[in-house]
A and B are shown apart, each in its own frame.
Chain A
Amino acid sequence: MPAPTTWKERLAPKIREDWAREIDIFETQIELRQQDKIEEKLFAETRLRRGVYGQRYDNGTRHNGREAQKLPFPERATKGPHTLWDAPGMMRIKIPFGKISAEQLDVMADLAEEYSDAILHVTTRQDIQLHFVHIEDSPDLMRRLAAVGITTREACGNSVRNVTACSYAGTCNTQAFDVTPYANALTFFLLGHDDTQDFGRKFKVAFSGCKDEPCGLTNFHDLGLVAKIRDVGGKSVRGFEYWVGGGLGSVPQPARLLAEFVTEEELMPLTQALCRVFGRLGEKENRSRARLKFLVKKLGIDEFRRLVLEEREKLRPDPRWTDYLSDLSATEERPKKPGMPLAPDATTGGAFAAWRRTNVRQQAQSGYAVATITLPLGDMSSSQARAISDLARTYTGDTLRATVDQNMLLRWVPEADLPALHAALLAAGLGEAGAGTLSDVTACPGTDTCKLGISSSRGLAGELRRQLHVLGAEVPDAAKDLHIKCSGCFNACGQHHVADIGFLGVSRNVGGRRVPHFQLVVGGQWTENAGAYGLAIGAVPSKNVPKVVERLTRHYSESRQEGETYRRFVERIGKKSVRGLIEDLIELPSYADDPSYYSDWGDPREYTIDDMGVGECAGEVVPFAQMGLAASEREVFEAQLLLDQGQAKDAARRAYQAMLSAARALTREKNANLGDDPDEIISEFKARLVDTRLFWDQYAGGKFSQFLFGMHASGLAVADAEGAHEVIEEAQLFIDAAHQCYTRLGGASSV
């Protein structure tokens, strides 16, 4: 048998059928877009919902510091508004709660080498991102991920983004219980769910095992779930504090408590109801006011709660709400080795001791530890990723997690193995101490790759890391555990609001020149799941930020009271006093005196904001019905291809499916509980749209609906190519009629 010539052929036996089909569909959509058969906004949202994101310069223009230059990409279709087809983009790989197996990491290492720049980037939401990926490589990239159990579906766009969770879950001393199985179940329950397809913006979910630690960061999520055990009639019952409407960005909002205790049985139905309310009432026009936080604020938490509970009562029961509860151990990790304490004669000094102090945490399970691998700026090379997967296999039994501060955890390390593990990490250039300390600076991509980036958050973070490492022991002890976080713009992906010392990229126009600056934000609270946001102090030229950090940390260590956190310290001394500390650093030298201020960190070009583009964080608002109609058009196209390949029966089935998809998309406008059983779709479609003459042609009357009814009643009895051809023709007419009906419905109607 000849060797497979495509990844599709080679991996077919390893990919879940539904995931394989989804990727095939995306590949078809790519083809259709190239033929201009899908409208660009619709395609943009389609690709975003598959994790295929735009990148800086993808409008084909780049500023060289003196002037804007055209990047002469081949002239082809666009990937979305102002987004050229051949411009490289970012691939976001959703890693639910950051859990990665060694095999998955190996595959991502290969993908980074083959399709990207040999770097895997861990994000602040436990995703992995590959940059500079060509869209035409993305279907194979997705297949290779799917073959190891990863889907990129809904990694971007107006969808439920990666469900994050405390990366210590299951090993932690302070957790109420392990949130992993709940995060896992909710991830796959919401993935592709009908009630999550009509959002005006993204929707982020986070789990935390406890209230006091920072790991889950539930306070700034659309939905934050904090594990809680309640005694009910003498029995311990598991549930969650249910927080909604938190968010960072330009208008940060702390989450509000929707319910003090939601039982595990109610977690999914309540969330489904919440999604439905957000989809129905959330803002769709004004993208900057479309996150859930604005809806909660507008309605007030009491009214919002009432609407969600009312919606909850309308839901059609779904066995998936509770099925997973019968096997909560499905996500349980099994260590490779028995737990063993660190040998008394083990090396305890030098680099190992420093690393152990900051990068190792004892597990709840005796004899085991969690080791943090510090990743500078969240980056690891493909070679390093393979080294990490080797270590996971050797020491821990495959239990890696990405963290929200852009590092990786190796869980279930026998404490006795820590010295050997550290030596191996050092050999791979991954044994750096300082995880979670001042030098472990978090940063979003900023102007490196993000279209919205204003200042170079990664450049700044890299420089701060470098300088703090040089200072080493000279950094005051009291300041060593502070957190620094940098965002390249107000969208706050670097989570600067919740850092002790945060920086937000801004620009200033001075003497006719643009100058990169960072707004200083101090006193955010990382603990208590990001319990409070910091205060803006003033904008500082980028090149003065290291001096700002030096002054703030020194002042804190010299003037703080015993046990005083940085937040309390800032509250005590006051914003004015903090500003006074840096007042002279806000001053900017003239260009003639020091032109270096007019370039950003890590970028020698004279600074400009002209490279900013239209962001894709918001995606494009494409209603569920319109997505459904687009899917039906794609299915008719596929039916035609099948017929061309001589597969008449399959072609007819696909054409029938196309009509069914269109009918379902329209009918769901009238019945949000509509399932996907064909009999139910037909019956509901007939009752709500045909009998009411909404699906009705002025001249042909109900003729087009009869195409679907006839095919359905016949049990798809088509034997030959001629018959299949006829069904395809009918399906095309049906879909045209569906579009007319959708227009008649006003584009969208309320549920």
Chain B
Amino acid sequence: MHFEKFALKLYVAEPRDLQLNSVTIAFHDFISEDALGELLIDTVDYTHVHEGPGIVLIGHASDYALELSEGRAGLSCSRKRDHVPVSERAADVLRRTLAAAAKLEARAELALRFRTDELRLTITDRLALGSMPDAFAAVTEAWAPVLKRAFGNEPSLSREGNGRQPFTVRARAECTASPAEVLQRLG
């Protein structure tokens, strides 16, 4: 996958009682505890923005967010600059997202659970997209095997969005495992 800027989103299972203030605390802790194994810099609160980025954990190579776009809460991991080999990028970002989700689930005060039967991949690398004849095919080729390994069954991938919104692919599969279990499966 030749994209440098893309994001993966896992959805919150029961978003009704979301404790966003506690997520802010968790993200601050992630920074000071070096919890995600990559350089994390700051947190920002955008909860005043309707269906916006929510609470963002800014990193050097990735940003994480408990975000509210589409009117659905979820955890996203956005890769900003990638030194991971092209062939590894899909698995790498999935691992990062699952690891962060598992860390949040482990914090009892958040009472957060993430679904693993649906993922959203957003590609904002418009330069790469513009020079690609069939981006969806390229994404499918890179992602389908990784998702199959993670979900344990064949995922369905579908293209969403229009020309002005970021290029989006939704993946669905039958999966009830926790992020930590999926992460283990992915290896």
Which among A65-73, A181-189, A248-256 touches the partner chain? A65-73
Q: Which residues of B contact A66 (CB under 8 A)?
A: 32
In the assembled complex, 29 residue pairs joining A and B whose CB atoms fall closer than 8 Å, in A order, are A4-B131, A62-B31, A62-B41, A64-B32, A69-B32, A113-B124, A114-B124, A114-B126, A117-B46, A117-B53, A119-B46, A119-B52, A119-B53, A131-B44, A132-B42, A132-B58, A376-B49, A379-B49, A381-B46, A381-B51, A384-B52, A386-B164, A429-B49, A448-B44, A462-B45, A602-B24, A604-B21, A604-B24, A604-B25
B32 touches A73 (CB 8 A): no
B130 touches A88 (CB 8 A): no
Asked if A605 lies at the interface with its beta carbon under 8 angstroms from chain B, I say yes
Tell me, in angstroms, the Cα distance from A280 to B173 when the chains sit together: 69
Query: 1/0 per position for B33-69, CB-CB distance to A under 8 A?
Result: 0000001011011101111110010101001000001
Our pick among B5, B80, B131 for the contact of A3 (Cβ within 8 Å) is B131
Q: Which residues of B contact A620 (CB under 8 A)?
A: none
Asked if B105 lies at the interface with its beta carbon under 8 angstroms from chain A, I say no
Asked if A7 lies at the interface with its beta carbon under 8 angstroms from chain B, I say yes
Asked if B127 lies at the interface with its beta carbon under 8 angstroms from chain A, I say yes
Q: Which residues of A contact B41 (CB under 8 A)?
A: 57, 62, 71, 87-88, 132
A114 to chain B: closest residue by CB: B124
B131 touches A381 (CB 8 A): no
Q: Which residues of A contact B31 (CB under 8 A)?
A: 62, 64, 69
Taking the closest CB of chain B, its distance from the CB of A129, in whole angstroms, is 13
A88 and B131 contact, Cβ closer than 8 Å, known pairs A57-B42, A64-B32, A604-B28: no
Asked if A686 lies at the interface with its beta carbon under 8 angstroms from chain B, I say no
Size of interface on A: residues with Cβ below 8 Å to B:
53
Q: Which residues of A contact B45 (CB under 8 A)?
A: 459, 462, 602
Asked if B166 lies at the interface with its beta carbon under 8 angstroms from chain A, I say yes
Taking the closest CB of chain A, its distance from the CB of B136, in whole angstroms, is 17
Asked if A380 lies at the interface with its beta carbon under 8 angstroms from chain B, I say yes
Q: A62-B41, A117-B53 are in contact. List 15 more A-B contacts (CB 8 A).
A: A7-B127, A57-B42, A69-B31, A73-B39, A86-B60, A110-B124, A114-B126, A118-B53, A379-B49, A383-B69, A459-B45, A465-B48, A602-B24, A602-B45, A604-B24
Query: 1/0 per position for A1-35, CB-CB distance to B under 8 A?
Result: 01111110010000000000000000000000000
**Sorted from nearest, which 9 A-B pairs have the closest CB atoms?**
A429-B50, A3-B131, A64-B32, A376-B48, A381-B52, A604-B25, A114-B124, A113-B124, A602-B45
Instruction: Scan residues 370-395 of chain A and give those whose CB is less than 8 A from a CB of chain B.
Output: 376-377, 379-381, 383-384, 386
Tell me, in angstroms, the Cα distance from A57 to B80 when the chains sit together: 19
A64 and B28 contact, Cβ closer than 8 Å, known pairs A134-B80, A379-B48: yes
Query: 1/0 per position for A263-278, CB-CB distance to B under 8 A?
Result: 0000000000000000
Our pick among B42, B69, B80, B130 for the contact of A62 (Cβ within 8 Å) is B42
A56 and B42 contact, Cβ closer than 8 Å, known pairs A134-B81, A428-B50: yes
Q: Which residues of B contact A119 (CB under 8 A)?
A: 46, 49, 52-53
Q: Which residues of B contact A7 (CB under 8 A)?
A: 127
Our pick among A6, A466, A605 for the contact of B28 (Cβ within 8 Å) is A605
Asked if A169 lies at the interface with its beta carbon under 8 angstroms from chain B, I say no
Asked if B118 lies at the interface with its beta carbon under 8 angstroms from chain A, I say no
Q: Which residues of A contact B56 (CB under 8 A)?
A: 117
Query: 1/0 per position for B54-91, CB-CB distance to A under 8 A?
Result: 00101010010000010000000000110000000000
Taking the closest CB of chain A, its distance from the CB of B52, in whole angstroms, is 4
Q: Which residues of B contact A154 (CB under 8 A)?
A: none
A383 touches B48 (CB 8 A): no
B51 to chain A: closest residue by CB: A429
Asked if A398 lies at the interface with its beta carbon under 8 angstroms from chain B, I say no
A377 touches B50 (CB 8 A): no
Q: Which residues of A contact B117 (CB under 8 A)?
A: none
Taking the closest CB of chain B, its distance from the CB of A87, in whole angstroms, is 8
Q: Which residues of B contact A377 (CB under 8 A)?
A: 48
Asked if A195 lies at the interface with its beta carbon under 8 angstroms from chain B, I say no
Asked if A430 lies at the interface with its beta carbon under 8 angstroms from chain B, I say yes
B29 to chain A: closest residue by CB: A64
Asked if B125 lies at the interface with its beta carbon under 8 angstroms from chain A, I say yes
B124 touches A6 (CB 8 A): no
Q: Which residues of B contact A429 (CB under 8 A)?
A: 49-51
Q: Which residues of B contact A602 (CB under 8 A)?
A: 24, 45
A10 and B28 contact, Cβ closer than 8 Å, known pairs A86-B60, A134-B80, A384-B50: no
Tell me, in angstroms, the Cα distance from A604 to B166 when the chains sit together: 33
A114 touches B125 (CB 8 A): yes
